[in-house]
Chain A
Amino acid sequence: AQSVSQHNHHVILSEAASLELGCNYSYGGTVNLFWYVQYPGQHLQLLLKYFSGDPLVKGIKGFEAEFIKSKFSFNLRKPSVQWSDTAEYFCAVTPYTGGFKTIFGAGTRLFVKA
């Protein structure tokens, strides 16, 4: 069965620290990849997406992610986190064929200390 694994369930960082959240998926075909963010008390919103082309994609608020096809990975990065980045982050995968279903990872809760 297709699945998405996020390596860290909880991450605590100090402001200005660098962030990398891991995401691996199990699907052999072409995929569309996403990172969504859920700020406290809010609904999910798109952080960034990859469909094709340059495997390094940039999103909102200084976030970026790199697609490494050989590793089935789509890790999220930010060079310097802020207190306002405290949120839950979800990696998601939509298979390109029959792509009505999106599979979400379990999420990573990030807490940034001021």
Chain B
Amino acid sequence: NAGVTQTPKFQVLKTGQSMTLQCAQDMNHNSMYWYRQDPGMGLRLIYYSASEGTTDKGEVPNGYNVSRLNKREFSLRLESAAPSQTSVYFCASRPGTSSYEQYFGPGTRLTVT
């Protein structure tokens, strides 16, 4: 039982490049989330998926897209990376509406130059 896994762990992009961050969970959770963590700002929600087949914007969705590929996988895409997207990205999952605790992945440290 690996929990929540994320790939890659580290990535450096040039401005304008695109990439997809992958996230998978093996806990049969319904809800999945993408956050970014910046110093002094805590975690800010980018997008979430309440259940398979649905996605919704969070607090800071601009410049990102997501895909809930199936119940296990939830990917985050940067179409045209900008230096302001330099951050640590965390994926999380949650069992469902009856449980509010989230389980986090190890994070992806992204630098955009």
Is A107 in contact with B58, judged by CB distance below 8 angstroms? no
Interface centre among A45, A94, A102 (most CB of B within 10 A): A102
A99-B97, A100-B31, A100-B48 known; A43 vs B104 contact (CB < 8 Å): yes
A49-B101, A101-B58 known; A43 vs B107 contact (CB < 8 Å): yes
Which residues B26-59 have CB closer than 8 A to chain A?
31, 33, 35, 40-45, 48, 50, 56, 58
Q: Does B74 contact A (CB under 8 A)?
A: no
A4 to B59, CA, bound (A): 14
Is A102 in contact with B105, judged by CB distance below 8 angstroms? no
A33 to B40, CA, bound (A): 20
Chain B residues within 8 Å of A100, by CB: 31, 48, 50, 56
Is A107 in contact with B42, judged by CB distance below 8 angstroms? yes
Can you name the residue of chain A whose Cβ is closest to the Cβ of B33? A102
Which residues A75-104 have CB closer than 8 A to chain B?
90, 94, 99-102, 104
Q: Does B65 contact A (CB under 8 A)?
A: no
A43-B104, A99-B100, A102-B100 known; A90 vs B43 contact (CB < 8 Å): yes
A51 to B101, CA, bound (A): 10
A107 to B42, CA, bound (A): 5
Chain B residues within 8 Å of A17, by CB: none
Is B104 in contact with A45, judged by CB distance below 8 angstroms? yes
B33 to A: closest C-beta gap in Å: 8
B3 to A: closest C-beta gap in Å: 9
Q: Does A44 contact B (CB under 8 A)?
A: yes
A32 to B92, CA, bound (A): 17
B34 to A: closest C-beta gap in Å: 12
Having A49-B101, A100-B48, A105-B42, one finds 20 other A-B pairs with CB under 8 Å, namely A9-B40, A34-B101, A43-B90, A43-B104, A43-B106, A43-B107, A46-B102, A51-B100, A99-B97, A99-B100, A100-B31, A100-B56, A101-B48, A102-B33, A102-B45, A102-B102, A104-B42, A104-B43, A106-B42, A107-B40
Closest 8 CB pairs of A and B: A104-B43, A104-B42, A106-B42, A44-B104, A32-B100, A43-B104, A94-B100, A43-B106
